[in-house]
């Protein structure tokens, strides 16, 4: 047990990661040594930042807490704290079930941890943090909460209503991070397109992205978690006009069958979704779309699932994930629909959909062979440098592998790479010899 050392473990999404990074900065400002996601935690204090989105994520968070409870029981840990979405939602229940935890914090009051440790919070901007990502990229959280209230989603229950951060504050954070060496920003929110409505009375995501793009030193901006209904089309104008705004959009569509979409409370129809995709591809040629789809939602019969497969074949998403419906207590779906589709049917549909997407992804990747693409280098692994194109977000998208024998390359630097081969996941390339 290392004195004055705190281990922080982050579960779930990149929005949670930003919270952990802010906490780390505060703790280090108070004199602690902090490790993040250590394979071998050995600190005297541990903090688990939990996820509470769906059943599997909740189970993973609980299992992680139990591991640290065991370490505490064995005398390897002095204090254990839990924060994040899971404890925000189940604060009282977790306190009764897990007495080994010294204190549970919610999604927003984790700053009290400093006080509980007997330390005064450091006087620094609330957004200041210690990055846990490679130093050339960062996640940029622009809002909290969500006002969409999709039938299946527990996020609004956990995080409350949408709250945009002031635009000037976000730009100041970008300028601060650029000064530290960050060149690439993953702009994240539960719902990007709603940004600004609560503060400025209108959708301001296009204006915000345009302002970020004008900060000197910003090389790439990538957009995550948009919503199709009432989409702010001026955002695509910014994407076309600004070279450092990646031609990439992460926009969860969930389904295509109109009845399923209605039951999901998505406020869009099959026909509108097809037209939506067509317009995006027409206005931004070459854009790569990432989406998330759901199988097994109540009322998804075989015909509706067949429609979904036909849609995936037509849309040919460059990036796609999918998951099976999981009933979450307190949601509209849990109150109004019976979760009657058997788990084995959900898993069969999920596997079928992902096999279909795997074939599409293989074809999309193969089409890049022979092209020269701009690539940022993230790391070296064995005999390869590993990087990404503007169409690839960290952790979730394919990578580009370049043999080290082709010449020295530096992490965080951008290179023109000729793509020589591809598989269903990754690209392979060679550095332009003139660089």
The per-residue pLDDT for range 60-102, each reduced to its tens digit, is 899 999 999 999 999 999 999 999 888 888 888 888 888 999 9
Count the helix, strand and coil residues of the chain and give each as a percent rounded to the nearest 5.
35, 25, 40
Q: Residue 110's pLDDT is what?
A: 85
Alpha-carbon span 323 to 254, nearest angstrom: 9
- Are 341 and 296 in contact by the 8 Å Cβ rule? The answer is yes
299: phi > 0 → left, psi -120 to 50 → alpha, else beta; which? left
Q: Residue 435's pLDDT is what?
A: 59
Largest interatomic CA distance in the chain: 64
Q: Residue 407's pLDDT is what?
A: 85
CA count, 13 A, side-chain hemisphere, 238 = 23
Query: In 3D, which of 142, 9, 108 has the Cα closest to residue 66?
Result: 9
Non-local CB neighbours of 414 within 8 Å, separated by 6+ positions: 183, 219, 374, 375, 376, 377
Distances (CA, A) of 421 to 42, 248, 363, 404: 43, 22, 12, 16
**E strand or H helix at 164:** strand 163-164
Please give the sequence-ordered ranges of beta strands (E in DSSP) within 214-287, or none if there are none.
220-226, 245-251
In terms of Cβ atoms closer than 10 Å to its own Cβ (0-12, 13-18, 19+), residue 403 is middle
Query: Which residues of the chain carry a pLDDT beneath 70?
Result: 1, 53, 433-435
DSSP letter string over 275-290?
HHHHHHHHHSTT-EEE
- Are 26 and 114 in contact by the 8 Å Cβ rule? The answer is yes
β 288-295/245-251 pair status: parallel
Query: In 3D, which of 121, 172, 110 has the Cα closest to residue 142?
Result: 172
Query: In 3D, which of 401, 389, 408, 390 has the Cα closest to residue 430?
Result: 401
- Are 142 and 127 in contact by the 8 Å Cβ rule? The answer is no
φ and ψ at 263, to 5 degrees? -65, -30
Query: In 3D, which of 327, 317, 326, 324 has the Cα closest to residue 349?
Result: 324
CA count, 13 A, side-chain hemisphere, 411 = 11
**SS3 of residue 430 by DSSP:** strand
């Amino acid at each position: 047990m290392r004195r004055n050392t705190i281990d922080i473990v982050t579960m779930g999404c990149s929005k949670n990661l930003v919270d952990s990074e802010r906490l780390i900065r505060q703790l280090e400002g108070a004199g602690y040594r902090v490790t993040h996601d250590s394979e071998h935690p050995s600190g005297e204090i541990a903090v688990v930042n939990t996820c509470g989105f769906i059943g599997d994520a909740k189970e993973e968070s609980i299992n992680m807490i139990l591991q640290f409870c065991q370490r505490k029981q064995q005398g390897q840990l002095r204090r254990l704290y839990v924060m994040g979405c899971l404890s925000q939602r189940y604060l009282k229940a977790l306190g009764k079930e897990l007495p080994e935890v010294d204190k549970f914090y919610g999604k927003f009051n984790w700053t009290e941890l400093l006080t509980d440790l007997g330390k005064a919070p450091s006087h620094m901007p609330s957004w200041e943090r210690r990055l846990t990502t490679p130093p050339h990229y960062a996640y940029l959280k622009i809002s909290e909460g969500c006002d969409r209230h999709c039938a299946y989603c527990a996020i609004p229950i956990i995080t409350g209503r949408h709250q945009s951060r002031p635009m000037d504050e976000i730009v100041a954070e970008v300028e601060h991070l650029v000064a530290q060496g960050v060149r690439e920003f993953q702009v994240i929110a539960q719902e990007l397109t709603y940004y600004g409505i609560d503060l400025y009375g209108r959708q301001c995501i296009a204006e915000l992205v345009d302002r970020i793009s004008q900060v000197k030193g910003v090389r790439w901006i990538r957009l995550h978690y948009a919503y199709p209904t009432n989409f702010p089309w001026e955002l695509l104008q910014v994407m076309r006009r600004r070279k450092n705004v990646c031609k990439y959009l992460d926009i969860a569509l969930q389904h295509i069958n109109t009845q399923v979409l209605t039951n999901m409370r998505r406020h869009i129809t099959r026909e509108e979704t097809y037209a939506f995709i067509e317009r995006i591809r027409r206005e931004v040629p070459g854009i790569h779309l990432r989406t998330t789809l759901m199988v097994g939602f109540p009322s998804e019969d075989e015909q509706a699932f067949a429609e979904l497969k036909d849609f995936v074949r037509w849309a040919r998403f460059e990036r796609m994930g999918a998951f099976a419906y999981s009933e979450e207590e307190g949601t509209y779906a849990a109150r109004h629909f019976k979760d009657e589709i058997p788990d084995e049917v959900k898993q069969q549909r999920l596997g079928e959909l992902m096999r279909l997407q795997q074939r599409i992804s293989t074809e999309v990747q193969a089409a890049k062979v022979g092209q020269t693409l701009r690539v940022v280098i993230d790391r070296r692994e064995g005999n390869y440098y590993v990087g990404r194109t503007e169409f690839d977000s960290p952790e979730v998208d394919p990578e580009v592998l370049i043999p080290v024998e082709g010449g020295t390359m530096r992490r965080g630097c951008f290179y023109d790479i000729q793509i020589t081969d591809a598989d269903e996941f990754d690209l392979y390339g060679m550095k332009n010899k003139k660089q």
